[in-house]
Structure formats: C-alpha cells, structure tokens
Amino acid sequence: METNLLSLFVKSIFVDNMIFAYFLGMCSYLAVSKNVKTSLGLGIAVTFVLVVTVPVNFYLNQYLQANDLGFLSFILFIAVIAGIVQLVEMVVERFSPSLYASLGIFLPLIAVNCAIMGASLFMQQRVSTDITSAGAATVYGLGSGIGWLLAIVGLAAIREKMQFSDVPAPLKGLGITFITVGLMALAFMSFSGLKI
Amino acid sequence: MSQLFSKKNKEVFSNPLSLNNPITVQVLGICSALAVTAKLEPAIVMGLSVTVITAFSNVIISLLRKTIPNRIRIIVQLVVVAALVTIVSEILKAFAYDVSVQLSVYVGLIITNCILMGRLEAFAMQNAPWESFLDGLGNGLGYAKILFIIAFFREILGSGSIFNYNFVDALHLQEYGYLNNGLMILPPMALVVCGCIIWYQRSRNKDLQEK
C-alpha cells in the first residue's frame, strides 16, 4: 500500500503534471510567471487548496454516487472549491497579512483555476482505478500541486532571464512563452515511463 | 431591426473574432484549447459547446445583473455556469457519446474556463441582454476559430486524417516515404502551434505586439 501511494505521488508530479500533460491552470500560470517570488507564493497557495479540496470532494463524490446524484457533481464540486478558497483567504488574511497583500487578486482567482477543478474531476474519473481512498486523494492533490508549482517557478525563472534576450517583436511576450512552455512539456515527456 | 444590428453591436460581435480574440489576445481559455485539439471532431464540438454556454450564461447574468448582491456575485455566476455546463454535458453524453468520452473532464472544466468568467465580469455585468448575447457569441466563435486552426494542423500532420477520414492511408502516401508526425498529437506541439498562430497574428497587426 505504501509503494502505491509513493508511486501515485511521483506520477502526479512528473508524469501527470497539471500544466505540461493536461494544460490545467494555464491562464493564471501565464499571467503570474513573470516573477519567481510571486510564482512561488501562488504555487504554494494552489498546492494548499488542492490538498484540502481533493479529499473533501472525494467524500462528497462517494456520497453522490451512492445516492445516484452524479449529475450534481459539477455544481457541488465548484461550490466546495469556492467555499474552501474563501476560507483560505480569511485564514491567510488573519495569520499573514503580508502574504495576503502580495498575492492580491490572485488568491480569490484560485477558485476558478482549472487545475483545482480539474484535479477533482480527474479524481472522480480515477475512483475505481488508483485513487481508492481519501489518503490517496490527498497524496494526489499534494503531488498535483507540487507539479504545478515546479512548472510555474521553472517558467518564471526562464522568463526573467529572457527579458535580456533578443526576441523578434511579433514573438515577444506571449508567443515566445508558449513556445518555451511547449519545449518544457517536451522535456517532461521524458518521465512518461516512470515506474516506482 | 437596425437597432439590433447597429454598428456598435456589430463590433461587439466581430471584435473577438480577430482583433480581440479570447485566446491569442485576451489570453483566456488556453487550457481546453490545447487539450482537445488533437483531432478536429472534439475540437469543433468543444468550440460549439463553449459558444452556446458563453452566449446563454451572458444573457442570464445580464438579465440578473441589477439584482445580484456584490459580495456573492462570483458564486452566483459559478452556479449559473455550472448548471448550463451540466445540461450541455448530459446532452453530449446522450447524443454524441464517443466525442464526450474523448473530451472527458474538459467538458466539466468549461465551468472554470476563463473566457466565461472573464466575459461575465467584464461585459455581462454592465450591459443589456442582447449586447451580452452578441458578445458571448462572438467570443465563443473566436475561441472555436482558433481551436479549429490548431486541430486542423495537428490532425493533418499528426494522424494524416481529416474528421477521421485517413487520407494518408487512402492515397497510400506511406509508399512514397511519408510518415505521420506523431509529435503533433502530443501536448508540446499544441503549445508550439498556438505560439506560431500568435506570432502570425502579431506580425500582421503591429499594435498587438508587446514592448
């Protein structure tokens, strides 16, 4: 059982990377990745929200499937996510006002980050295969968050250095970022046969 | 009738198709645009679904805009969008099951598609229903257009087929030494193709270039 959880953890960071394999969370990813420090803060916030929402949605999903209410899962998942993000916002504001100020608008925007909803939907799909317990769901959430954090910090580091490169005008900014992320995704594909 | 299609309304509809395109200019809705474009059929179904959902959720929120309290407006928007997505998802499962399996979680992810939330906040909350409908329709079609272009190149170069009609096999192109570019079906190329589309659009349109 322990090797299964470790394998799930490593797989969800590298093989099923939220950005490079499934393109989830791209909007805030592209908007925030100009600066390594803010990217780190956002990555940690996303990881924290994932670790809390995926197990809660796991239990919710079990209840819905048992009562044949599967079609309500979209509405209830997003409601849970919005509620938990609101809670996280209040906790961060109370215990760390400086972090709250530096994250600004991006903290409430985590509620509509596709990576959070996507992790819950993937968990729902994989309930019968590898995510069979709340522990596995937590590990999956943690791994997905860390994978997202690695991706955003990596891209921010590259973009900071690229400010001094001679990029052609039509490619500057968004265009070259897309191509860079594509090359990073290509590199991450090398993990695809990974087995622990 | 001329009021309905006045010059301003025509602009509201046509701007997102090219100048203010949701994907390449506003940078919204990237996630699903890259994930479902390996083949043309799911890309078109996804484009149409997003168009329908954006247009109707814009109308509904625009009708409700004066009555929503400010503190809970994100939650109200999410509930309206989630309800519409649930309806579209059930329709897809009933009438186009194979495509809905290919689209898997990305149909559900339309709820968090930034185009929807972005247009609801930026347009529907401040404008009348008909204009919001045109705006939703325009943004959805602009999104569908980019999806179509990306899927077109990826399917032709990656699987040698169009709409699942495999013309490489039909014309026996393998005998001339032509092989499909398998990399095109994989995630990295979606990003690179999208980058090239942005490159092309910005080289034709100098004011979109960043300093």
Lowest mean per-residue pLDDT among B124-133, B139-148, B199-208: B199-208
Give the best residue of A26, A32, A140 to mutate against chain B (max B CB count within 10 A): A26
Instruction: Round the average pLDDT of chain A to a whole number and report it.
Output: 85
B199 Cβ under 8 Å from any chain A Cβ: yes
- Mean pLDDT in residue range A150-165: 89
Which band of pLDDT confidence, cut at 50, 70 and 90, is reported for residue A3? Answer: low
Q: Which of B 140-159 lie inside 8 A of A, CB atoms?
A: none
pTM of the model: 0.83
- Please give the residue of chain A at the shortest CA–CA distance from B113: A114
Structure-token pair, residue A159:
């973009």
CA distances from B39 to A86, B42, B210 (A): 38, 6, 32
Residues 6 or more apart whose Cβ sits within 8 Å of residue B129:
B59, B62, B63
Which band of pLDDT confidence, cut at 50, 70 and 90, is reported for residue B211? Answer: low
CB pair distance less than 8 Å for A189 and B186: yes
Amino acid at B118: G
Amino acid at A124: Q
B126 Cβ under 8 Å from any chain A Cβ: no
Residue A190, pLDDT > 90, answer no
Q: What is the pLDDT of residue A58?
A: 92
- Mapped onto helix, strand or coil, the DSSP state of residue B104 is coil
Q: Nearest Cβ partner of B210 from A23, A117, A172?
A: A172
- Please give the residue of chain A at the shortest CA–CA distance from B87: A71
- pLDDT tens readout for residues B120-141: 888 888 888 888 898 899 999 9
Give the DSSP letter of residue B207: G
A25 Cβ under 8 Å from any chain B Cβ: yes
Q: Nearest Cβ partner of A122 from B82, B105, B199?
A: B105
CB pair distance less than 8 Å for A125 and B82: no
Q: Which of B194, B95, B208, B205 lies closest to B149 in space, CA to CA?
A: B194
B182 Cβ under 8 Å from any chain A Cβ: no
Q: Which of B 90-119 lie inside 8 A of A, CB atoms?
A: 90, 104-105, 108-109, 111-114, 117
- pLDDT tens readout for residues B34-88: 888 888 888 999 999 999 999 999 999 999 888 888 777 888 888 889 899 999 8
Output the CA torsion sign for A50, A56, A60, A61.
Answer: positive
Q: What is the pLDDT of residue A54?
A: 92
Q: Nearest Cβ partner of B35 from A22, A79, A176?
A: A22
- Mean pLDDT in residue range A159-187: 87
